[in-house]
Structure 1
Amino acid sequence: MYGQIIILHGPSSSGKSTTAKAIQGLVELPFWHISIDHLRDSGVLPTDRIDRQEFLWSDLRKPFFAGFHASLAACAKAGNNLIVEHILDTPDWVPELKNLLAPFDVLFVGLHCELEELKAREFARGDRPFGSAKQDYHTIHAGRVYDIEVNGQANVEENAQAILEFWRSGLRQSEFTVSEKGSA
């Protein structure tokens, strides 16, 4: 049996990690929580050498994300349920993910947060390039069609409950559930 996928999509510092952890703590099935941050922080990338510009991130970025996206499909195909944090900031990623994840039940969640709050969170974290939250805020939700949208400044437990209620309903209306012929 294929795994199920919940994608949390929102700007940097919008609360994706906090929301993912809350969902993971409440959901009745085992779900993996997967993000690029987990990979980066685990030492998967040669970060020191990238920082020294021995390797250019601009050369590594495309194959890194292609592998990440393919790994999501592989994990779900093996029967693992996934909560995926992502910032779909590159135009090619949406069609790539739609193709890779077509066989799976995908719940696409939009996480929103006010710009001033994003900037404050980004500053407090100190581990993001300053201005990335602002850039994300103005671009990443444009043209996206979600199953459910939540406010990343609201109560995280209530957001997690709302997401899980929608997930349990089986209703899907996002761009990840529309077939090639345009019907749901």
Structure 2
Amino acid sequence: MTPGQIVFRNGTSSSGKSSIARELLGLLDDGVYSHLSVDAFNAMRAQRELSRQEFDAGLRRTRLGFHRSVAAMRRGGQRPGGGPRTQRAMAADRLPGRTPPEDVLLVGVHCPREELERRERARGDREAGLAALQYDLVHAHGDYDLECDTSTASPRARAERIRDFLPHRPTPTAFSRLRARYSVE
């Protein structure tokens, strides 16, 4: 079985990652793709009140499980897409060394702070200020294969751009460069 390709969309809360993923799933017709979401993994955790230490430890385990699941689906021939949200997660230290960096497309999903705040208010299902809190951290690593601004085009247009870019991934990929930068094996 041929392993699948991974499309990571990285952006703050409310930046449009999930909207792009839904559109992308409908556009990709050369195999089976799946959308894996960190939010879905977080929703699997117990929702009881936790101390800060318990919460931080649980969040680390959840993200580790998420990234291992992405790698496992890839090895099984699926083409997962996920959205890590922190520099540390994006540094590729969670995907096992058997995931070839050339199989990972890293997409930066950007949106102006004012628009993120408007979207958070409109959604009503997110902690107010979460996107602002993540804003400076999420893209701190500064390296992507492709970037898009969801305030200037529809999720469909952004998904089409990703689809059209897939056959033209750069060498080395951003994932390769991040692995080298952080000496991850």
Fold similarity call, TM over 0.5 = yes
The equivalent residue for 1:19 is 20
Structure 2 gaps of 5+ residues are: none
Equivalent residue, structure 1, for 2:146? 148
Q: Are 1:13 and 1:118, in contact at CA under 8 Å, matched by a contact in 2?
A: yes
Q: Is contact 1:73–1:100 with CA below 8 Å preserved after alignment?
A: no
Q: Kindly state the Cα deviation for residue 2 of structure 1 after the two structures are TM-superposed.
A: 0.6
For 1:32, the equivalent position in structure 2 comes to 34
Structure 1 alignment gaps of length 5 or more: none
1:29-73 CA-to-partner distances (Å, cap 9, x unmatched) read 2210010222344xx2111x2x376x9322312222111111111
Task: Map 1:74-89; keep pairs closer than 5 Å.
Answer: 74-89=72-87
Tell me which amino acid in the other structure corresponds to 2:69: S
- 1:162 paired to 2:164: no
| Separation (CA, whole Å) in 2 of partners of 1:118 and 1:101 | 36
Which residue, 112, 115, 124 being the options, matches 2:122?
Answer: 124
Counterpart of 1:68, as a letter, is F
After superposition, the Cα gap between the structure-2 partners of 1:116 and 1:180, relative to the gap in structure 1 and judged at 3 Å, is: closer
- How many matched pairs? 176
Q: Which amino acid aligns with 2:126?
A: R
When normalised by structure 1's length, the TM-score is 0.84
The 10-residue stretch of structure 1 (3-12 or 136-145) with the greater mean CA deviation from structure 2: 136-145
For residues 34 and 92 of structure 1, the distance between their equivalents in structure 2, rounded to whole angstroms, comes to 15
Whether the aligned pair in 2 keeps the contact of 1:123 and 1:130 (CA below 8 Å) is yes
Give the superposition deviation at 1:175. 2.5
Paired AA for residue 168 in structure 1: P
Distance change in 2, residues 1:99/1:40 (3 Å): closer
Structure 2: how far apart are the matches of 1:123 and 1:117? 10
Is 1:136 the equivalent of 2:127?
A: no
CA-CA distance at 1:171 after TM superposition: 3.1
Q: Percent identity?
A: 31
CA distance in 2, matches of 1:125, 1:172: 38
